[in-house]
Structure 1
Amino acid sequence: MKINWGTGIVIAFGLFMTFILFFVFTVQSDSKYDNELVVEEYYKHDAHFAEEMTRIQNAADLAQRPIINNNANGIEVEFPKTFETNKIKGKVSLYRPSNKKLDFEIPISLSNATTLLIPKKSLAGGRWDINMEWQYNGKSYLSKETVYVR
């Protein structure tokens, strides 16, 4: 049986459509390819964007800022030694872009030390976005950073 060029184009087009439909079905049904929103309530979050920018600017205006270090023990958040640790309140949110189930928050609770340690055993390897929301002397701050854990 001889196939002319018109039949060949139709067959190729049909195979291509089958491949695309298979790919779309696989991505939509497999839990490995989870399509999640970055923020659950996007519009509510967007309404507070100006406040968030003010807190980011407050953090940028500090003469000495908290430093986020990634070392062998885990992630360390080191506040400047000039801060009174009992006046620092807030939380550190760790966001994993690839898997929402790994996201978690840690309250900032410092005793006499100026360093908060997030142990490596609670962190999977890969990219982590860290949002640190904190208050000191009645002023709100927000620090954002991306860390890669190995």
Structure 2
Amino acid sequence: MDWGKGILLTIIAFVGFILTLVVISVRQDDIHLVTENYYEKEIKYQDQIDRETSAAGLDREVLHFDSQSKSMVLDLPVGAKGNLQLFRPSDARLDQEISLDIQEEGKTTVSLDKLKSGYWKVQLTWTENGTDFYQEKKISL
């Protein structure tokens, strides 16, 4: 084989390789954004900072993970309303959202044993006495 055929075969192999990579990347359908409305959330980020600061000023741990029972324990007062988001960074299809309306005194327990094992972010946003709060925990099931 002479030089011309070797160069031609190398170029054809390279083009075939690149085309294979393009086809694989176009067919990939499991790419998930962190959030669908990223830009809207970015604009309202100062509100998020204020909620986190309010939660840091509380004298109690509101969001606690109990690894023995695979549950989240929420220490919220009666009348608090909020939202608990179970966020799976690796697969947005597994994300869940639970609305909260605390009607009873004591700690509220949310079972997580039906979730797929792995890394999760648990995000709690709630309103208590007219003030908004936010707290987040990173857990592994």
TM-score norm. by structure 1 comes to 0.79
How many residue pairs align between the two structures?
140
Which segments of 5 or more consecutive residues in structure 1 lack a partner in the other structure? none
Give the direction of change, closer, same or farther, for the CA distance of 1:16–1:46 in structure 2 (3 Å limit): same
Match of 1:142 in 2: 134
1:130 aligned to which of 122, 135, 141: 122
Q: Percent same amino acid among aligned pairs?
A: 26
Paired residue secondary structure (2:73): strand
Note if contact 1:68-1:76 (Cα within 8 Å) is conserved in structure 2: yes
User: How far did 1:50 drift?
Assistant: 0.6
**SS of residue in 2 equivalent to 1:131:** strand
Displacement of 1:24 after TM fit?
3.0
Q: Which runs of 5+ in 2 are unaligned?
A: none
Q: Which has the higher contact order (CA 8 A, sep 6+)?
A: 2
- TM-score scaled by structure 2? 0.83
Shift of 1:10: 4.4
The amino acid of 2:89's aligned partner reads P
Q: How far 1:13 sits from its partner (Å)?
A: 4.0
C-alpha displacement of 1:43: 1.8
Structure 1 residue identity aligned to 2:123: N
2:21 aligned residue: 23
- How far apart in 1 are the matches of 2:69 and 2:19? 46
Superposed displacement of residue 114, structure 1? 0.6
Q: Which amino acid aligns with 1:47?
A: I
What displacement does 1:9 show? Answer: 4.3
User: What CA deviation, in whole Å up to 9, does each residue of 1:30-51 have, x standing for no partner?
Assistant: 44xx123222222212111110
For residues 66-95 of structure 1, the C-alpha deviation after alignment (integer angstroms, 9 at most, x for no partner) is 13214243231231xxx6x31321010111
Which deviates further from its counterpart, 101-110 or 127-136?
A: 101-110
Match of 2:107 in 1: 114
